[in-house]
Structure 1
C-alpha cells in the first residue's frame, strides 16, 4: 500500500519494485519482472450491461477492491446468469427481452460484493496502532463475524428479473437467493444434485403428489427448456433425499416444491399442487415477456443486511 509520504512516481520504478521484493529473497539473479505498475482500486459498476447484441461481464461491468476475493467470483456469476438466458433466446424458447434481466439481476447483486470489499479494505488497511487496536477490539467482540463486525451492505440477492412474485406484487420469500446443494441418490448414484441433473432448471418436490396438477402443456414446456423434475422421497423412491437435506427445508417452510434456476438461484416455491402449476406458469410467462426486467440498472440496493428474509426456503449465503 502506498504510504502517505510516498509518491506514485517514486513507487512506479523498477528500483522500487526490487526494493519491495527484497525481503522475500527475490533479486535480478533469480527473478524476472515482467511488469510493474501502481494500481488505484476502484469500486464501480456500469449502469447498462446490455446494448443490443453487446453484453458486458466481469471486469468490463464492475470493478472492486481485492479484499474480499470476489472480483472473479462475480464475473463467474455474470457468466452463469447470462449463459442460460442466451441459450433459451438463441434456441427460440424465450423472448430477447429476457436478456434485459441480466442487468437488473446482476447489477443489484454485485453491489453486495463491492460494498463488502470496500468495508474489508477499511479493516485491512489500518496503519495507526491505536486505530488497529480499536479495530481488533471490535472484531473480537463481534466474533469476527462479518455480519456483525462490518456495516450493513446491500444483500447478496438478485435484483428484479426472472423471479416469482408474491400475491401483493412484491418479491416472493426466498426468491433470488442462492440455493444450497445436498447429495441425492438417483439410479444407484449418490452425488450432489447438479451432478445428477446436469444443470438446468430443477423442480424439486416433496414426492410425486405436488406434480399432480401439471398438465401435458406444462410438462412439455418444462421439457422444452431442459428442466428436470425431481420428486424427492426419504427412501425408496427414484430420487432419494439421502442425508435429509432438501425435504426438511421445504417442510419447515410449509412448501411442497421449489423451482431452482440453472444458475442455482431460487426462482420460487409452492405450498400445494395448484401452486406448483402456477409456479410453472409464472416462469413460462416471464420467459416470453420479462415483466420486471430492464436494460437499465436499478437504484443502489438499500443497506438492509445480508440475511435471508423470514420464511425463506432454501436460502443460503453466497
Structure 2
C-alpha cells in the first residue's frame, strides 16, 4: 500500500515540509510571510479560520509600519485605504481640546499618524503572498499540537473536515493572538492586567459626523471616542457602565441613546458591527523558546488608546523576519535569534505603558487619576510647552536597541533605589506615568532614576531617516526604494570602500550588502569619484547632510530593517564590518577567508 493511499484511509492528509511555519494569518503573520517570501524562504501559514477576518479592528497606522509595507512593495497598494495626518485630540465633555497629537514630521518617509481599515490592509498582505511561489497558506486548519527537537518543529494540524496532517518545519512562529495556543503550549508566562471596565465599539458606514480626526472625549458621565476612518467609515467607542451588558447596549433604542449626542438622527445610522471588549496589558516573559518564536498579540497585548497594538506587531515582524531568513538560509547561526527578544521586548513594554497612560487620561478609575487629568487640562492651557509636548508626539517611546545587533558597549546596570522602585510602580496611574517617563532616559525622571544616559545622542539602535534622494538615473525616490532591504554602508561625501580590507569586503558580499555614497544633489552629474560597486545618491532635501552634520561620524551601517547597526569614520569601515559580523554570528565558508 502506498503512503498516499494509507494516509487517505486513515483520514490523514499528506505531510508537508517547510522552512518556517507561521500559526495565525493575522497582520503580523502575513507580514512575516511576505518578508520571508522576499528572501526565498519556504513558508507555510496555518490559519484555523477559512478566510482572513473581514471586520474592522485596528484603525491607527504609524509611519514605521508604512515603511515596512514599503519594504515588501505594497505601500502604494495600501495608501489609498489610509488617511494621512490623522490627528488625535483629547477633549473635555464640553468640547475643550486640552491636548492634540498632530506630528507633522515625515522623517521616516511617511506621515507619522495615519487612519486605516485593517481588513483592507490584511487583504493587501494576503494578496501579496501570491507573488511568492514558496509561500503557501492553509486556511481552515487548526494546530492540535506541536513539539520541537534539535532540528525542527513537528506540528499536527486538523482541517475543517476533521482530516489531520503532519507538518515539519525548521522554525515556527506563533502569531495566533492574545489567547495564543502556541504561547500557552510553551508555558511562557504572560503577565499584566485586565482593566475592570469594558467598552463597546461601534463601526458605521456613511459617516454621520464627518469630523476628520479622532477625538477622545473625557466626558465625566460616559467617556467616548469618535474616529473618522477612510471610505466613509466612523468608529464610536463608549465606556460600558456597571451592570450594562452587550446585549442590552446593542438594542436599537439603547444604541440610539448612546450616539444621540453625536449624530443628528440616531435612527438613520448604518451599522457595520457592535462589540464589547476589555482592555488588556500583558507581556510575554520571552519571545523565543528554542525553534519557536512569538510575535504580535501572542507576545504582547496593550490597550487600544494609542493604536500601538497593530504597529508593535508590525515592528516585531520587521525585526524578526530578516534574522529568521539569515538563519534559515544558512548565513547566520541560530544564536542570532536571541537578539529578537533582547531588542523587541523592552520597547513593547514601553508602548504598553504609553497605551495605559492614555487610557488613564480618557477614563481614570481613581480619584488620583481624575486629579491628574484635571492638572493636565489646566497645565495645557497655561504652559505652551505642555501642549507642544503632545502636538509633537514627544511622549512616544521610539524603538531604541541597546542590546542585540548594535555596535554599542553593553549597557551597565545603573540606577539605585528609585530605579528599582519605578520598575514596580505600574499598578496605579501615577506609577504608570512615572514608569513611562523613566523609560525615556533623557527625561527628568529618567535622569533621576538612572543618572546621565551616555548613549542619549547616539543614533545606533535607532531607525534611520528616509528622505527623498536622486538616483544615478535622475529619478527622485524614497531612500529605501533605491538601496533596497539589504545591509548597507552609507557614507556622506566620500567613497566608503576606500581602504576596505579584503576580509571586510568578503563579509559584506556574504551579507549581500551595498555600499552607498551620498552627496549633495548638485554633484550627481560628476561621477568620477564613484567607483564600481558603489551606488551614488543625491541628497535632494539636504536631510542627509543635516543628519550627518549633527553627528561626529560620517558613515552608518544599516540593517535590513533600516535600524542603525553602527556608526564610524571612513577609515573605520573595515573594523565596523568585522565587528558587525561577530554580532551576526555569521557562517563563513572555507573559501571565504577573512
Q: TM-score, normalised by structure 2?
A: 0.43
Aligned length: 283
* Aligned equivalents of 2:502, 2:508: Cα separation in 1: 10
Matched, 1:107 2:345: yes
The structure having more radius of gyration, on CA atoms, is 2
Inter-CA distance 28–271: structure 2 relative to 1 (3 Å threshold): same
Inter-CA distance 6–184: structure 2 relative to 1 (3 Å threshold): closer
1:40 to 269, 278, 286: 278
1:241 to 539, 553, 564: 539
Moved more, 118-127 or 102-111: 118-127
Inter-CA distance 179–21: structure 2 relative to 1 (3 Å threshold): farther
* Aligned equivalents of 2:468, 2:397: Cα separation in 1: 31
SS of aligned partner of 2:332 = coil
* Aligned equivalents of 1:149, 1:126: Cα separation in 2: 21
Inter-CA distance 73–232: structure 2 relative to 1 (3 Å threshold): same
Deviation at 1:224, TM superposition (A): 2.2
Unmatched 5+ residue regions in structure 2? 1-196, 199-221, 223-238, 413-453, 528-535, 587-594
Deviation at 1:287, TM superposition (A): 0.9
Give the alignment of 1:1-318 within 5 angstroms. 2=198, 6-7=241-242, 10-13=244-247, 15-18=248-251, 19-22=253-256, 23=259, 31=271, 33=273, 36-37=275-276, 39-126=277-364, 133-140=374-381, 141=383, 142-146=386-390, 156-166=399-409, 173-187=458-472, 188-234=474-520, 235-236=523-524, 237=527, 238-273=536-571, 275-288=572-585
SS of aligned partner of 1:143 = helix
Contact 2:490–2:496 (8 Å) recurs in 1 = no
Alignment root-mean-square deviation, CA? 3.3
* Aligned equivalents of 1:99, 1:67: Cα separation in 2: 31
* Aligned equivalents of 2:314, 2:393: Cα separation in 1: 27
* Aligned equivalents of 1:148, 1:193: Cα separation in 2: 24
State the structure with bigger RCO (CA 8 A, min sep 6), 1 or 2: 1
* Aligned equivalents of 1:85, 1:97: Cα separation in 2: 10
Q: TM-score, normalised by structure 1?
A: 0.77
Inter-CA distance 50–248: structure 2 relative to 1 (3 Å threshold): same
* Aligned equivalents of 1:137, 1:40: Cα separation in 2: 30
Deviation at 1:11, TM superposition (A): 1.8
Contact 1:231–1:239 (8 Å) recurs in 2 = yes
* Aligned equivalents of 1:168, 1:31: Cα separation in 2: 52
Name whichever structure is richer in strand by fraction.
Answer: 2
Contact 2:327–2:333 (8 Å) recurs in 1 = yes
Contact 1:107–1:159 (8 Å) recurs in 2 = no
Contact 1:58–1:76 (8 Å) recurs in 2 = yes
Inter-CA distance 287–81: structure 2 relative to 1 (3 Å threshold): same
* Aligned equivalents of 1:5, 1:256: Cα separation in 2: 55
Contact 1:112–1:156 (8 Å) recurs in 2 = no
